[in-house]
Amino acid sequence: MLELRRRGWMWAALLAAGVLAGCASSSRRPAPVEDRSPALHTQVPPAVPGDAARPLPGSENAAKPGYYTVRPGDTLIRIALDSGQNWRDIARWNSLENPNIIEVGQVLRVVPPATAATGVAVARPVAPSVVVPGPVSPSSAASAPHSAPALSVASVPPVSPTPGPAGEEELPWGWPTAGGGTIVAGFDEQRNKGLDIAGKAGDPVLASADGRVVYAGAGLRGYGNLIILKHNNTFLSAYAHNQTLLVKEDQTVRKGQKIAEMGSSDADRVKLHFEIRRQGKPVDPARYLPARTP
């Protein structure tokens, strides 16, 4: 009898130890991880109790000509490039309080209001300008991309508008690199939306035609330090992977003007990725650029 009682005590002690061990292990279990990172560009509309069917901005214009429905991964810069517009104009047309945040499913106007109403775009070539060194205010210097030197712009009176799209097709293009450069990748509508031109770090990158800077920065994934020029209502050109940007947004430039220095930002080698976009659609730059001299 004494032996049985002793064994019962042993089993009870072992059972109590197991319960305590289980409690201790459960108390050491790590807390679940919560992602608190902010959505900087595209965000999924938040769930609001009792408002599951909340209409998104512009939803009444979905599928209409001149409007675009935001998809996951979109940024305003990408939408502007693909629609051939200035991202600041799109932000203004849609009264975006914070252009860094757009919602999946939101519908944006991507053509000027007058164009959407009439279906006709009026050609307004960009006025050329002369860029000269000069002082800038501290606020404008702080907004200049990277470490670009301070520049001031002396505007030239605008030229007369070119009547109709036929004149825009005759835009005089020039090569975006000085003194050659080897083309290491040609145009492919699916895999390479422009030309890749090899060179040395610091080689000059030139404006391919007169235009206005509508973007200068590194906010478009895959392009590195990027400059986008708007030449008229038909054409944009893009200059990617730069080492240094020498112009800032809303500045006018002349054909052949140095706007950047070649680099390898967001690329596997030093090169310039150059695109020409006709109404937002990538086209083969070789169709527009002049023959290269030996």
Residue 142 has pLDDT above 50, yes or no: no
What type of residue sits at position 230?
K
pLDDT digits 0-9 by tens, 84-131: 999 999 999 999 988 888 999 999 999 998 755 444 443 344 433 333
Assign domain 55-118 to its CATH architecture: Roll (3.10)
Q: How confident is the model at residue 17 (pLDDT cuts 50, 70, 90)?
A: low
pLDDT reported for residue 53 = 62
Provide CATH code, domain 129-134+142-287. Answer: 2.70.70.10
User: Do residues 196 and 271 touch, judged by C-beta distance below 8 A?
Assistant: yes
Question: Residue 239: which of 255, 219, 215 has the closest Cα?
Answer: 215
Question: Residue 100: which of 118, 77, 134 has the closest Cα?
Answer: 77
The whole-model pTM stands at: 0.65
Q: Taking residues 208-236, what's their average pLDDT?
A: 96
- Give CA 66 to chain center in angstroms: 20
**Structure tokens that stand for 246 in this block:** 């020498």
Residue 33 has pLDDT above 70, yes or no: no
Q: Taking residues 232-239, what's their average pLDDT?
A: 96
pLDDT reported for residue 168 = 62
**Structure tokens that stand for 168 in this block:** 């825009």
Residue 247 has pLDDT above 50, yes or no: yes
CA-to-CA separations, 30 to 17, 25, 33, 34, 160, in angstroms, rounded: 23, 10, 9, 12, 70
CA-to-CA separations, 182 to 28, 33, 170, 198, in angstroms, rounded: 61, 49, 26, 5
Domain-by-domain residue ranges, the chain? Answer: 55-118, 129-134+142-287
